[in-house]
Amino acid sequence: MTKRREFVLRVIPLAGALAVLPRVTLAADAPPLAEEDKMAVSLGFRLSSAKVDQAKYPKHTTEQVCGKCLHYKSPEADTAKCDLFSKIVPKGGWCSGFSKRP
């Protein structure tokens, strides 16, 4: 095996791993958001949109879920980082910061 070929075979997989690593690390760095979190409480966050206090949030509908919110970073995933809290939330969650994804 030539040195050039050996170099290419070693560098290309390493470059691919380095390209993926920051995304994996960022997702793993964010902790899950708990309903008891101080900011979560102030925004009425619930892990399930079906459990929102409708009397307190009359404009809430069950169609409003994190997965359809502009702040939810990976709409295809079951859980994702919410950029309002910088924490992981479930696709079916909700808070009063909900903003419908266009």
Residues in touch with ligand SF4 (CB under 6 A): 45, 66, 69, 71-72, 82, 84-85, 89, 93-95, 97-98
**E strands, the chain, in order:** 79-82, 87-90
In one letter, which amino acid is 17? Answer: A
Cβ closest to ligand SF4, residue 3 vs residue 58: 58
Instruction: Quote the least distance from Cβ 51 to ligand SF4, whole Å.
Output: 13
Q: In angstroms, what is the minimal distance from the CB of 24 to ligand SF4?
A: 21
DSSP state string for the chain: --HHHHHHHHHHHHHHHHHHHHHHHHHHHSPBPPTTSHHHHHTT-BSSGGGS-TTT-TT--TT--GGGBTTBS-TTSSEEEETTTTEEEETT-B-TT--B--
Minimum CB separation of residue 16 from ligand SF4 in Å reads 30
Q: Which is nearer to ligand SF4, 30 or 95 (CB)?
A: 95
CB nearer to ligand SF4: give 30 or 94.
94
Question: For residues 30 and 72, which CB has a smaller minimum distance to ligand SF4 in the complex?
Answer: 72
